């Protein structure tokens, strides 16, 4: 009876834990200029500043990324739907809504940490 309990416990733990590894990156984030509103993103969507989206150079489209502003501790979750940024030293471009929530509209660029699950 106790062995059966342990087998179930192990099975539940194996299936409830993710096989994906959590990855972090640190660097600078910027946000899209207003001129990109309404243009097509790399995955074919229409870009909208009021959505919680982002551009990343390599992450698969649809990846959910937690972005934390290291200057003030604020965090947001965004979905990758575009490629970029194309400026040296920057690791992510954010929609204006995401940048506002992170408190980086005035500075335009912020030191951030990204956290996401690496899919196999």
Of the pLDDT bands very low, low, confident and very high (cuts 50, 70, 90), residue 3 is low
CA within 13 Å, CB half, 105: 9
With 60 as the cut, is the pLDDT of residue 11 above it? no
Of 21, 14, 16, 39, the closest CA to residue 119 belongs to 21
Cα-only R_g, the chain: 18
- pLDDT of 12 > 80? The answer is no
Per-residue pLDDT at 9? 47
- Give the pLDDT band (50/70/90) at residue 13: very low
What does residue 66 show for φ and ψ, rounded to 5 degrees? -90, 125
Residue 7 has pLDDT above 50, yes or no: yes
On whether the CB atoms of residues 91 and 29 are closer than 8 A, the answer is yes
| pTM of structure | 0.82
């Amino acid at each position: 009876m106790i062995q059966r309990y342990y087998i179930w416990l192990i099975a539940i733990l194996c299936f409830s834990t993710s096989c994906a590894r959590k990855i972090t990156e640190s660097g600078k984030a910027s946000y899209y200029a207003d001129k990109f509103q309404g243009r097509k993103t790399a995955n074919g969507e229409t870009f909208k500043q009021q959505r919680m989206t982002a551009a990343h150079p390599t992450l698969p489209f649809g990846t959910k990324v937690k972005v934390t502003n290291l200057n003030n501790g604020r965090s947001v979750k965004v979905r990758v739907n575009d490629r970029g940024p194309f400026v040296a030293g920057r690791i992510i471009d954010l929609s204006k809504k995401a940048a506002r929530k992170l408190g980086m509209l005035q500075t335009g660029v912020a030191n951030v940490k990204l956290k996401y699950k690496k899919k196999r």
